[in-house]
Chain A
């Protein structure tokens, strides 16, 4: 019985988020909270592996109480169990402090049921770093496998996994001992619409919710803002570029002007055609 834990996060939808032009700050209320899209692929992959090998899929998140919604979304995708750690002590965590808190929660989950495989999305769309997954792997001292776009085999009896790891110009086939941590690319699978029974189960589902006091042997200075070596010192709207020459006239005139500009750079077109 494989026990796979997917680490997930609720994030503001950065495609919709609006900026306050006066203060150059984000209007977080303007953006709906969603399950980080890369994490949906992580959960889906866990569910697919369960279909192949049997086992249990758990999800884990750290966040404020409303993040329960993201867990429910994972139950809809097909996860069996959801765990959430929520506490003011976790607030303001950067990737190092986040990986520490999640690791402590994973250690507790492992006392309930030993963990064979951890899956994370490639990165979150609000933090954009992709550092939490590898951080968890290092803290648990298991191999981190990033940029995974295919799981070829999980062999629990012999204790190994074989995966494809995406490279800039292809991929590599890697064999790793189990347990290990995978962070997955979005092309690893497609997340289908959730079947109705999953949605009904998600609606009723209550995740396990732990505060900092529920995590044994925790070193509080490593949590939250205090445990974060990086700080954001300033935030600004990107410099507005100068803006270029706007072409004028009829569409045909504009196309002709553009063509003239480009033909002056004739050599560039030749480069393009060679």
Chain B
């Protein structure tokens, strides 16, 4: 394998509901830095049906080039169809680095592509860097349930591949009118070559506040003592219009569904305000919420690691503090509503 043949940083551009997924735009931001450091191009790989027009937004978020596979066979994500497109594109244009969002689609695709190439793949990366002179990708991620961080290298194979957690990297500010080159690609692929069919897509019907989209999250942990104590989390969340989050042990104890789990094996969140209540702050939880705007921690144990990661901390029993908070908010917010009512 001649490494000099492999040039450029690529991002797999995941299309969802007619737009490029936010995580892909974040990766263009991260990829731009890597490409600049290597003085090379940043490209996107865009696969789908009727997706060519989306290349423009990739340019506006930092891409120089977009390889497009636009064909009805790619209407739905299917591992085999998408994998064949990516494999063909890598073989033809030889990138040095290829990044995917760590979504259900990105992880599925990257695992298949890595095996066939073959090359190394680092999962769920949270930090990326590249050695300027060697082009070696430094992909770092929490390991062993988040107890440690590890930097993983792929020295002997190209491209170097990683999936990257959503909401960890930052997208560049959109630059309207920025352009690039669209390269239309295709491979001979017939429907009968693909062994899976998507029969139906069912979107979640109840549109609860999803924690990855919420502006305020009230998250609870084992420190609440039991499901009854955890009800306080729901009440506080309701009072201030927040979504409810939870630590892994609480989810595993069955106090709340897994959709609410914040952390390495749950959801990465970036709300404007994050309340961590009765959560000790295992690193696997911290990596999932550390990019929140304002972090408030309430915990009985003054030595709890969560206090290292918060902006404001209260040492105290959640069962005592949270009811006071609920009451304080009710009063404060109630007054605000009265004040507003007075103005009308």
Query: Chain A residues in contact with chain B, CB under 8 A?
Result: 12, 14-15, 17, 19, 24, 26, 94-96, 99, 125-131, 133-135, 137-139, 143-147, 162, 165-177, 180, 186-187, 228-238, 240-247, 251-252, 254-256, 258-259, 261-263, 265-266, 268-269, 271-274
In the complex with contacts A172-B76, A235-B148, A268-B215, A229-B314 CB distance below 8 A: no
For residue B320, which residues in chain A have a CB less than 8 angstroms away from its CB? 251
A33 → chain B closest CB, angstroms:
13
| Docked-complex contact B290 and A241, CB < 8 angstroms | yes
B50 interface hit (Cβ, 8 Å): no
CB-based contact A243/B307 at 8 Å: yes
A71 to chain B, nearest CB (A): 23
User: Could you tell me if B112 and A15 are in contact, using CB atoms closer than 8 angstroms?
Assistant: no
CA distance A239 to B215 in the complex (A): 26
Chain A's closest residue to B307 (CB) is: A243
- In the complex, 6 of the A-B residue pairs with CB atoms within 8 angstroms, ordered by the A residue number, are A128-B145, A138-B112, A165-B104, A180-B195, A244-B307, A272-B273
Whether A174 pairs with B286 at a CB distance below 8 angstroms is no
How far apart sit A17 and B272, CA to CA, in the bound complex (Å)? 32
* 10 closest Cβ pairs, A-B complex: A14-B145, A229-B120, A134-B111, A272-B241, A129-B123, A230-B120, A273-B241, A138-B115, A170-B203, A272-B216
B258 contacts chain A at the CB level, 8 A cutoff: yes
Interface string of B306-323 (1 = CB under 8 A from A): 011111111110001100
A102 to chain B, nearest CB (A): 12
CB of A233 within 8 A of CB of B216, answer no
Q: B148 to chain A: which residues have CB within 8 Å?
A: 19, 24, 26, 235-238
Secondary structure at the B interface, as helix, strand, loop or mixed, is mixed
Q: Does any Cβ of A come within 8 Å of B249's Cβ?
A: yes
Q: Are B118 and A168 in contact (CB under 8 A)?
A: no
In the complex, are the beta carbons of B198 and A174 less than 8 A apart?
yes
Known contacts A174-B196, A255-B328, A268-B273; is-contact A229 B104 (Cβ 8 Å): no
Contact of A244 with B310 in the complex, beta carbons under 8 Å: yes
Overall SS of chain A's interface: mixed
**B204 contact from A170, A266, A273, Cβ within 8 A:** A170
Give the residues in chain A near B333, CB-CB below 8 Å: 269, 273
From A131, A135, A232, A271, B216 is in contact (CB under 8 Å) with A271
Within 8 A of A (CB), among B68-104: 76, 79-80, 103-104
17 new A-B contacts, CB < 8 A, other than A131-B110, A268-B273, are A17-B145, A127-B143, A128-B264, A134-B111, A138-B111, A144-B79, A162-B199, A170-B203, A171-B202, A229-B118, A236-B148, A243-B309, A244-B313, A245-B313, A261-B312, A265-B272, A269-B333
- Are B111 and A272 in contact, CB atoms less than 8 angstroms apart? no
Q: Known contacts A238-B286, A256-B328: does B264 contact A139 (CB below 8 Å)?
A: no
From B34-42, B57-65, B153-161, B177-185, the one touching the partner chain is B153-161
Question: How many Å lie between the Cα of A84 and that of B69 in the bound state?
Answer: 42
Whether B198 contacts A173 by the Cβ 8 Å rule is: yes
For residue A179, give the distance in angstroms from its CB to the closest CB of chain B. 10
Pair B155/A128 contact, Cβ less than 8 Å: no
CA A171 to CA B114, docked complex, whole Å: 25
User: Does B295 count as interface, using CB distance less than 8 angstroms?
Assistant: yes
Any chain A CB within 8 A of the CB of B301?
no
Q: Does B151 contact A (CB under 8 A)?
A: yes
Closest to A269 in B: B240
Shortest C-beta distance, A158 to chain B (Å), equals 14
**Given known A-B contacts A143-B195, A172-B76, A235-B148, A244 and B295 have beta carbons under 8 A apart:** yes
Residues in A with CB closer than 8 Å to B264 are: 128
Partner of B112, one of A144, A171, A266: A144
Asked if residues A172 and B197 are in contact (CB atoms below 8 Å), the reply is no
* Residues of chain A contacted by B312 (CB below 8 angstroms): 244-247, 258, 261
CB of B189 within 8 Å of the partner chain = no
A259→B322 CA distance, assembly (Å): 12
State which residues 108-167 of B face A: CB under 8 Å. Answer: 108, 110-112, 114-116, 118-124, 138, 141-157
Residue of A nearest to B290 (CB): A241
Tell me the smallest distance from the CB of B82 to a CB of chain A, in Å: 12
Q: How far is the CA of A262 from the CA of B274 in the complex (A)?
A: 11
Smallest CB separation, A97 vs chain B (Å):
10
Q: How far is the CB of A274 from chain B (nearest CB, A)?
A: 7
Chain B residues contacting A245 (CB-CB under 8 Å) are 311-313
Chain A residues with CB under 8 A of B115: 96, 99, 134-135, 138-139
A130 to chain B, nearest CB (A): 6
Give the distance in Å from the alpha carbon of A95 to the alpha carbon of B163 in the complex: 14
